[in-house]
Chains A and B, each alone.
Chain A
Amino acid sequence: EARAALDGQLAGLDAAMTHLDIQLGDLHVRPTQEDIERIDFDGVLREAAGTLRALAEDASRGAAERRHAGDALVELFLLSARTSGSESP
């Protein structure tokens, strides 16, 4: 939904201008706190997600390292969503 909204806004800007060069290479998706809570409440994956989120938001680290942590968090979110419900007791 967010991406559809962004595309709509960009289309409007493009129509309003003579030339619009759009660079979307650095555009990233980040899960919200609610998304993370859904991963694995109080479990191993939840703990890993917390670590990755802390790394991604740690201003003392380099941009590349923070970006990797953010990407890893997204990947964890996608993978956990894929394996959701497969936990055995």
Chain B
Amino acid sequence: MKLTSVTVEGVGRFGTRTSIEGLGAGVNILSASNEAGKSTIFRAIRACLFERHGATGKEIAKLATEGLSLPVSVTLGFEHGGKTYELAKTFIRSPSATLREDGRDIARGRDADERVWEILGLDPGGGRSVDEAAFGILWVRQGQSFHAPEPQGAAAGALNDAIGQEVGNLVGGERARQVIASVSAELSRQVTDSGKAKKDGPLDRAIRDVENLTGELQQTETRLRELDAMLDDLARLRTELKSVADPNQGHRLGVELEDAHQQLKAAEDATQAIGRAAAEERQSHGLLQAATDRHTALLERAKRIDEGRQRIATDERALAPLKSRETDLRKVVNEAYEARKPIDPELARLDAEDRRLQHLATHVQTAASIDALNARLVSLTDYARRVSDIEARLKTNTVDERAIGILDDIEKKIGALDARLEAAAAQLAIEIRNDQTVTLNGETIINAATRAVTEPLTLRVGDGVTISITPPPGELATAQTERDKLDRTRHAHLQQHGVASGDELRRRRSQRMSDEAEQRALKAERTALGIKDTPAAEISKLTAGRDQIATETAALLAAHGLEHLPSRGELDQRLQDLRQRKDALTVERTRHDGVIEASNDELQRVREERSAIEARIKEIANQLVQDLAALPDDQRGTLIGDAANRCETCRAEHRIKAAALEELRARAPSAEETERRRNRVERLAAALDTRRQNAASLGTRIANLEGRVQSLGGDGLGEEAATLRDQLAVAQTERDRQQARVDTLKLLRTVVQDAYDTRREQLNAPLKRHLKPFLHDVFPGSDIDLGDGFKVESIRRNGPGTEHFERLSAGTQEQIAVLVRLAMGAMIAEKGNEVPIILDDALVFSDDARIEQMFDALNRAGRRQQVIVFTCRAASFASLGGRPLSIA
């Protein structure tokens, strides 16, 4: 089908007959402002095609022009199946319908309504309105463009027919969905979405029964194992108690303990006897040690007395040469001091003379500069005079550049005025042809003269003729007045500078410039002369310095008793002689100092050696006094002999005590044996004690175990465990059965779902094939997932990740929805059912870049079928291209 004309009258804002002009194949665009009636035309087209002419519903009533009682008339022209048709319908008032085919009426009224549906392949059904089939998904009303198409009824049928021609139908799809729904419903009672058993579901109850019974059985079996262990422990403890309580074994242990006690006592007695003998032996040994020490001390003291006497004698012999050496050294030092004594005053005198000569030499050098000072004084005096002269001349001559400029300006104006006066004035020509004297204004004329009469002139010829020539008053009077004024100005200017003429003023200016140049030269000379202050101050300073040198010279001559200052060479010779004398004396003094220092060092060493020997003699003498007090020489033999006898006596007594101790030790048991006997006593005593404690403890534990066995209930525990095992087996069977049921249902759902999905993908493939070029016009490289009923599920862009349709932006949703509609239209058209695509104010959410890509997609659709776009955005849709439509 292709719309070729639309005409309305009494529709909305179109009260009079109005047509859409320019409709044709491909893309058609009607750009008009808001409220221009685009949507009204869209609704009129739909009503004409799909409403019975007798319809009076709200949609028809909304079409009528408000305020006018006109019939609602819509006439559509279209081509279909190679024929041309015109469908004219009038609603509300005088309703009628006429269908013309290739220029002739073929149906009227109700027949026309239904005939057009038959031609377009629409099913009127049993309702009041017709199912719009493919028109329902390809004609997009204002505000609906961003909804993804979800074809229902005949629209879905049209799509399925198109798909069925290519890949067949989805047989059993509904029953498969019912099976999946039933299985999912039962699974949802058994397990959660994550696959875990659902709480209080059959599987969950079976699992919990198993867990409860398993726990219960474990507790019972634990108790049973505890009971068996207790009974075993009880039997073992009773056997142990019987052994511990044996009376024969107790008697035997008692006899052994008594025997062990007796053996230990004998060993301890022997040990005590050895202790006493050892004490006596230690006491005897102490006496022997004391006697031996005294004897040894006396022998050592006698030896020290003899050695001390020898060392004192030796040291006293060594003292004599030291004292002699000390005396000799003192003599040498004194002699050196005496020899050095007169040298120091002589050196002091020579130093004073040296300083006096140096002072004199310095002054001689200063006095030599007086000639230079005088020469500088002459230069400075001359310089000061010249400076003073220049300054005086510059002070009296004030003619500067400005004064010359003023004069030049005045004379320039006078020159110009003179030229004007002379040009306008009468010319006086004088020619003298005799020897008479002729003067003009007192100036003698020789031979001839010409003069302009610009001022009164007095001409004298000889002594008898005086001719006065006066220029006429009139037009030159003003210029003359001006010139007189300039003369007065020049005169005043010259008087101001004290000159009578302009030439003199210029000479004075030249003189001043020369004086200024000389002044600059004097400033340079001042720098060369190094004058920091004024010349007068400099001269005063130089004069004072020269006078001071003269005064000092006079004072020096008086002080040295000289009539005139010596020469510099004379002074240098005297200084050289004096310094040679000083150097000789200094060398001699240094030599004496060396003798004194060396002798003093040697004297110090001799003194220290002598003091050390004397101190050692004193120390030995003191020790000798002490030793002799303890061991006088006259008692030395008696005291040493008594000490030796005492040693022998003590040694004999100690020998006896030691022999007795050794004998006791040889007879007594060893320490290890005594320790072994003690250990045996303790072991036997502990064994008897342990035996008694074990018996008591075993009795207590047996009583305790008997009580616990009674509390565990003993009898019947085994039967209880057997019952629980049977119940657990039944519960496990039930759990396995429920689990198997769940696994079976999951497998069934997976298999049916896979079969269904595979088949659905096959069915969606043709639409996706048609969609792909449109989609890539706008979203290059992307792919779309379609669900049941061609519903747009998601889009994949830039990788494997999917974006759900509902989460996309409004603009992207709208673009995808339009692209899917274009694909559906292309698929239906390909199967021979060409239906125009009409978009009423679509793509409202698209940005500038994306809308250009959408235009590419619309033009792609327009290559195979008619596309009509209504828009109020003329500027944005300017680049869509296609046929421009107009309302006329």
Chain A interface residues (CB < 8 Å from chain B): 25, 40, 42-48, 51-52, 55, 64, 67-69, 71-72, 75-76, 79-80, 82-84, 86-88
Contacts and interface: CB of A to CB of B under 8 A. Distances in A.
B695 interface: no
A79 B178 CA distance: 9
A65 to B, nearest CB: 8
Residue of B178, B733, B745, B752 most packed against chain A (CB within 10 A): B752
Given A87-B174, A88-B174, A48 B752 contact: yes
14 contacts: A44-B170, A44-B752, A45-B755, A47-B755, A51-B751, A51-B754, A51-B755, A68-B743, A71-B744, A76-B179, A79-B178, A84-B175, A86-B175, A86-B178
- Chain B's interface size range is 20 to 34
A47 B733 CA distance: 33
Interface in B720-764: 733, 740-741, 743-745, 747-748, 751-752, 754-756, 759
Nearest to A85: B175
A2 B171 CA distance: 33
Contact of A40 (B175, B733, B740, B744): B175
Given A45-B752, A48-B751, A51-B751, A72 B745 contact: yes
A83 B179 contact: yes
A83 B171 CA distance: 14
A46 B752 contact: no
Contacts of A67: 740
B156 to A, nearest CB: 11
Nearest to B179: A79
B206 to A, nearest CB: 16
A23 to B, nearest CB: 12
B182 interface: yes
Contact of B172 (A40, A68, A71, A72): A40
Given A51-B751, A75-B748, A79-B179, A46 B172 contact: yes
Nearest to B176: A44
B23 to A, nearest CB: 37
A29 B257 CA distance: 89
Contacts of B744: 68, 71-72, 75
Nearest to B756: A44
A82 B182 CA distance: 10
A58 B174 CA distance: 29
A43 B171 contact: yes
B617 interface: no
B37 interface: no
B183 interface: yes
Interface in B668-699: none
A83 B752 contact: no
B590 to A, nearest CB: 126
Interface in B150-197: 170-176, 178-179, 182-183
Nearest to A74: B744
A21 B744 CA distance: 29
A44 B761 CA distance: 13
Given A68-B740, A75-B745, A52 B751 contact: yes
Given A48-B751, A71-B741, A72-B745, 17 more contacts: A25-B733, A40-B172, A40-B175, A42-B171, A43-B175, A44-B170, A44-B172, A44-B176, A44-B755, A55-B747, A68-B740, A75-B183, A75-B744, A83-B175, A84-B175, A86-B174, A87-B175
B179 A45 contact: yes
B172 A43 contact: yes
A48 to B, nearest CB: 4
Contacts of A64: 740
Contacts of B754: 48, 51
A76 B172 contact: no
Given A71-B740, A76-B752, A43 B176 contact: yes
B569 to A, nearest CB: 140
Interface in B27-42: none
Contact of A72 (B171, B176, B733, B747): B747
Contacts of A40: 171-172, 175
A56 B719 CA distance: 43
Contacts of A47: 755, 759
Contacts of B752: 44-45, 48, 76
Given A79-B183, A83-B178, A44 B171 contact: yes
Contacts of B175: 40, 43-45, 80, 83-84, 86-87
Contacts of B748: 48, 52, 72, 75-76
Interface string B62-97: 000000000000000000000000000000000000
Contacts of B178: 79, 83, 86
A54 B733 CA distance: 27
B755 A48 contact: yes
Contacts of B183: 75, 79
A52 B753 CA distance: 13
A9 B751 CA distance: 37
A2 B741 CA distance: 24
B727 to A, nearest CB: 18
A51 B748 CA distance: 10
Residue of A44, A46, A67, A80 most packed against chain B (CB within 10 A): A44
Contacts of A51: 751, 754-755
A87 B752 CA distance: 16
Contacts of B745: 72, 75
Contacts of A83: 175, 178-179, 182
B172 A87 contact: yes
A88 to B, nearest CB: 5
Contacts of A55: 747, 751
A52 to B, nearest CB: 6
Q: Which 6 A-B pairs have the closest CB atoms?
A: A43-B172, A72-B748, A44-B176, A43-B171, A71-B744, A48-B752
Nearest to B743: A68
Contact of B759 (A44, A68, A75, A86): A44
A79 to B, nearest CB: 5
Given A68-B747, A76-B752, A45 B740 contact: no
Contacts of A87: 172, 174-175
B174 A45 contact: no
A46 B759 CA distance: 12
A44 B753 CA distance: 9
B518 to A, nearest CB: 130
B376 to A, nearest CB: 134
A25 B743 CA distance: 18
Nearest to A73: B748
B161 to A, nearest CB: 12
B179 A80 contact: yes
A9 B178 CA distance: 39
B202 to A, nearest CB: 15
Nearest to B182: A79
B182 A45 contact: no
A44 B740 contact: no
